[in-house]
Structure 1
Amino acid sequence: MIGADMPLLDVADLSATFSTQQGDLRAVEGVSFQMDEGTTLGIVGESGSGKSVMALSIMGLIPSARLGGRIGFEGDDLLSLPDARMRRIRGSRIAMVFQDPMSSLNPVLTVGLQLTEVIRLHTGASRPEARARAEELLRTVGIPEPRRRLKDYPHQFSGGMRQRVMIALALACDPVLILADEITTALDVTIQAQVLALLKTLTVERQTALVMITHDLGVVAGHTDRVLVMYGGQVVEQATTAELFEHPRMPYTWGLLDSMPRMDRDRSKPLVPIEGVPPDLLDPPKGCRFRDRCRFARDICASRAPDLAPAADRPGAHLVRCWGTQDRAGSGWLIGTDHTAPTEA
């Protein structure tokens, strides 16, 4: 049981390192955050920022990585649990919705069989009970004629419907935490909105905690309580969703926002891409990992890596990994809130 003051998920200083022929690649480094029941967290960043590796680490699905830190879940450290115990938790207490449902669903088994297998494995239900539960799940996620569709194979569903099947699989055993990894990437905007609305409704009704992983800040804007921005395997900004969108303080976050279409922006102005490429995590830079792409970089950004700490002008729960917004370098400068030039403190 979770204590009244204990978070559902408590990730502390998580690291994930892969051994390669070129050396160690630290895909995730020093990531920490907490989640309570019924809350929703968005994790955003470019491809290669460590988002999916972090989620797979929580699920225990990357045995090739050396994991460090702690993943506290319902009072246990998932990194220290034996495989048999982790298999019982995975699917029943924690579930994951993957990016590409066509590669995640078995093409030679009916949707009904895949759902009933999961239900019977984790709950011990009989075949009739599992089939009734599977039909109920398809109805819950908005698939018409669920009894008939249980007999269909994945290729007989549209892309949006396959994603709904994946959500049904994730909900099969009433988990308390769902990890959704880039689930809207291959969907058109209409289906994307439907899937996001479905997830939001289900998490509110069931008080299920949801981690939504995406490269698109627009996806998390109306569907999360808090946001982590990741870059180069690290968290570079963390705040409530409203705070982050109203007062973004990390230059990388500004870049993500500037490259995103927005209704309140002058449509005659082009989107602004983030110049450059992410750092090589086989040989990460000594200082700030965003320095080579940041127009506000100073000498200290090359020599010392900033901590994830409160922004100087946004005290409280708004954390940022940037010398310019922390003003902790003793250099007397802060990045201007207009995102265009540093101003003297």
Structure 2
Amino acid sequence: MLKLGIIGTNWITQQFVEAAAASQKYELTSVYSRHEDTGKTFAEKNGGQVYTSLETFFKAGDFDVVYIASPNSLHAAQTIQALDAGKEVIVEKPLVSNPTEYAQVKDALAAHPELHVFEAARHIHEPNFRAIRKQLSEMSVINGATLTYMKYSSRFDNYLAGENPNVFTTTFSGGALQDLGVYVVYDAVAWFGKPNRVHYYTTPLRTGADGKGIAVLGYDDFDVTLNIGKNTNSYLPSEIYGLKDTIVMDNAAELKSVIYHASDGSTKRLSTEPAANPMLAEVDDFATVLNDPKNPDNMRHYQTWLHLSEIVNGVLYDLRRKASLVFPADK
């Protein structure tokens, strides 16, 4: 049983803790929150000792692995702090703000080669994601894709009321691309590889962050269009195009329904019923590696995830640069 510490007590942390409990591979033992009342409320529901000092959390907390779900701009420093404290690390996506921070995390990992850093890009661990990759390997030609993930944020009403939630500010490395865009960039990189060129056309907010946008990733023989947004909802399906055949997804991030339309007009369901908690697959995969880190298959999987994470981070940064989206973390 892995002893789990958490940084952050928002809804996504709650979902992660519930997935960890459902896996029966983790026990929540330590909770960090800047506010004692918030931490106590979370701990009363889920368990764990509460800490309001991050230094004390890492020094006195009884845990093996920490899940970091703080604002994006804090991820890199907290990941390095965790590694220096001898903790395994799971970081909610995006892992860091830019390639410079990624290099700093890699340096910290090199100094602690017995430890691991996982980016919690949950959907790449799900069976339906792998089913798409398998079908792609059987298609003779790929002619491009249109991948959509637009979901109205629960915080956007606050933004419209004149507030500046962290997820909609450049100060905390927020915006549509860094949040929902991570999913579709992961899709593209995992399924088609690193693009040769990128463009990003945004709808900016008053904070300077992107509320929604359209990205185009260029490959040798096709382009992939990404539609992302946090200030509106889209119900468009996502598609990957062959010649006469097409893969159709209900949603490029949720992947609850995936249908293959063959060239002869027949259809085949590629998807299976997803778990009730979408984080269950990733927490299982992370625990498998952490419980047997020297197993060759586990080592290979971990290195694949880490390499994919680095490429995705670089693509996100290149997209931001094309749109002149600059974070304080970049300077």
Of the two, which has the highest radius of gyration? 1
Q: TM-score, normalised by structure 2?
A: 0.30
